[in-house]
Structures are given as structure tokens and as C-alpha cells.
Amino acid sequence: MNLGELARIARAMVVKNKGILAADESTSTIKKRFDSIKLDSTEEHRRSYREMLFSAPGAADYISGVILFDETLRQKAKDGTAFPDLLTRKGIIPGIKVDTGAKPLAGFKGETITEGLDGLRERLVEYYKLGARFAKWRAVIDIGDGIPSSFAIAANAHALARYAALCQENDIVPIVEPEVLMDGGHSIDRCEEVTSAVLQTVFDQLAAHRIYLEGMVLKPNMIIAGKKAANRAGPEQVAEATVRVLKRHVPPAVPGIAFLSGGQSSAEATLHLSLMNKNPLPWALTFSYGRALQDDALKAWAGQAANFSAGQKEMAKRAKLNSLATTGSYSSSMESQAA
Ligand code: 13P
């Protein structure tokens, strides 16, 4: 385990003005995204969509790292360059999703446990050889009637910490992602209560598993009301509650926090990040968005080769606006301006 290297990579992932592109949709998730543009999810369509995103002109100025799915880590650009090499040459760090998904937690109706620990050490050794320098594991916590249970929170936090330890053993920076979903009708206060409990348990487990905090990145949800809530909190309230919770539970030894977008609109996710970055903070606060970086690009591309550069423009535009949000310099009026 090379502590200096882990800390260097973690800092580079959250470096000023940059954030992470989450392009690690599993085969079943990318199929849902392609369904929305009526495109078959073939291996070649998945490959060319990812090539469009990764080679978007200008994007490297705003993107520090890209999270890949196993299939993508092994694919090549049209000119034969392996995707991890294409990214590395642009100064973008390749990362890899290593969990195998959230499965029903036996005995706990409506709750899940994320799987993927068996054989993980061996997979990490291979991923490192293929060029990955960081990894991601996503735990999923749903809010509903009587859930989450403290048992499900503890089980998921334990798995996250075991994953993080294996990553660091293999010189791979773990992105630790405990996602409290924004599905459902819960209030922002309920999201705050649950997220606080989750983050506290996660950092207790990370300490118990002897995780080197300087060599990891946290990927949390923002504190936000459920999508079906009658009372949607305003952007200032979201930013304020999120910063409050993070300050209470995330040690300043962690170099950076990179949010998921979780179903927020692209503009909402950018605005919330920018508002938070108007405060002095003990860690870098940036983005690790999937949908909030890709939605516009996916629509503009629509699976047509002729729209390749139109899709790239949309991707670069969102990356640039989110980059501005990392210094608190984004404003909603920029949405209508050209990329
Ligand atoms: P979203 O930003 O679309 O939530 O995706 C981020 C991610 O990587 C979820 O694991």
C-alpha cells in the first residue's frame, strides 16, 4: 500500500475546477437510458456513446476522472486506443465500478445490501493492470415506512468499509458511496436525519477497518426532499442542510466530497453545488454526476453518428457549468447562454 500515491490520486480527483464523470452504468441501466432515445443497447452502441463522452473537446479541462463499467474498461476507441489510455493521455484518471449491485437484504423487506466482495481482491489487481486508479462502490438506502433499519445501514456501511480496505491494499482510491435515495415523498428533514445516521455509521466503519482517510473520496447524496414530496425545499435550504450534515460527520482528513445527482435535474444539481461552494469548507466539494452530466448529451446524440459533435458539445457545456459550481461561480442565467 502506497499511502503517498493514494493521497495524490485522491487529491487529483477533487482538484479545483474539476469533477468526475460517472459513466459506469451497468448493462441493465444503460439499456434504460438508451430506451429513452429508442436505441438498442448493443455493445457497439454502448462503445460509441462512451467514446463520444470521453473525447468531447474541452471536457478534459473540467473532468478529473471517469468511472467506467467493466465492459468499457476493456473497450477501445474507433482508432484502436484502449479507453483507459485515451483518458490517461488527456490527463483524466480512469476509475472502475466494482460492486455487483444492490440485492434484496434477506429478512429485511424493502431494503438492499450491495454485493461484490467475493473475489474483489483479484479483480482489483486486474483493474489496476488495465489502468484503473480509483474505484466505486454504491450502497443504496431507501427511505419509506419503517425503513431504513439500523441493521441495513450497518450492513451496508460494513461492506463499504471492507471494499475500501481492499482498494487501498491494491493502491486504488475508493470512492465510498452511500446513497440515500430521493425516491418517495419524504421531507428534507427526514433525508437529513437518515443521511446523518448513514454517514456516522459509514465513518465509524471506515475507522474500524483502518481506512486511510486521506486516500479516499466520499460520494454522498445531497440533503433534499423526496421527488414526490408535497413541500420541495428551495436550493438555499438544500445547500445549507447538506453542508451542515457533512460538517458534522465527515472528518477534514478526507480530501474531497463528490456528489451524485440522484435524479435531480441537471440545472438543479449544478445550482446546489455552486451554492455550497460559496462557503469556506474543510474539504473540496465537487461533482461525480451521471445523469446530470449526460442527460442533455444523450438527447442531442440520439444514437446518430451525425449528432456526435452535438452530443459532445452538450457534455462539455454541463462539465463547464459544474466546474464553475466548484468555485461557487455558477448562476442559473448561464443556462441559456451558448456552451
Ligand atoms: P447519478 O448522478 O445519475 O445519480 O449517478 C451517479 C452515480 O454514479 C450513482 O452511483
CA 194 to chain centre: 19
* Closest ligand 1 atom, residue 291 Cα: 3
Q: How far is the CA of 211 from the centre of ligand 1 (A)?
A: 23
Judged on CB neighbours under 10 Å (0-12, 13-18, 19+), 9 is buried
Q: What is the helix (H) or strand (E) element at residue 21, kind and residue range? A: strand 19-23
Select from 218, 77, 205, 204 the least CA-distant residue to 138: 218
What span, in angstroms and rounded, lies between the C-alpha atoms of 70 and 74?
7
Q: Could you tell me if the CB of 135 is within 6 A of ligand 1? A: no
| Alpha-carbon distances, residue 328 vs 16, 94, 277 (angstroms) | 11, 26, 5
CA of 22 to the centre of ligand 1 (A): 6
Q: How far is Cα 96 from Cα 69, in angstroms, rounded to an integer?
A: 6
138 CB less than 6 Å from ligand 1?
yes
CA 88 to CA 83: how far, in whole Å? 9
Confidence (pLDDT) at 338? 54
Ligand 1 midpoint to CA 186 (Å) = 20
Q: Which of 252, 158, 146 is nearest to 201 (CA)?
A: 158
Taking the centre of ligand 1 as the mean of its atom positions, its distance from the CA of residue 106, in whole angstroms, is 25
- CA-nearest of 195, 24, 182, 185 to 98 is 24
Q: What is the pTM of this model?
A: 0.97
- Which helix (H) or strand (E) element contains residue 67? strand 63-68
CA 181 – CA 237 distance, rounded (Å): 18
Does the beta carbon of 262 lie inside 6 Å of ligand 1?
Answer: yes
- Mutating to test ligand 1, I would choose from 218, 260, 268, 270 the residue with most ligand atoms within 8 A of its C-beta, which is 260
Question: From first to last of its 339 residues, what are the pLDDT tens digits of the chain?
Answer: 999 999 999 999 999 999 999 999 999 999 999 999 999 999 999 999 999 999 999 999 999 999 999 999 999 999 999 999 999 999 999 999 999 999 999 999 999 999 999 999 999 999 999 999 999 999 999 999 999 999 999 999 999 999 999 999 999 999 999 999 999 999 999 999 999 999 999 999 999 999 999 999 999 999 999 999 998 899 999 999 999 999 999 999 999 999 999 999 999 999 999 999 998 999 999 999 999 999 999 999 999 999 999 999 999 999 999 999 999 999 999 998 755
Determine the Cα–Cα distance for residues 187 and 191; give it in Å rounded to an integer: 6
Residues catalogued as catalytic: 177, 219
Ligand 1, atom 4, residue with closest C-alpha: 262
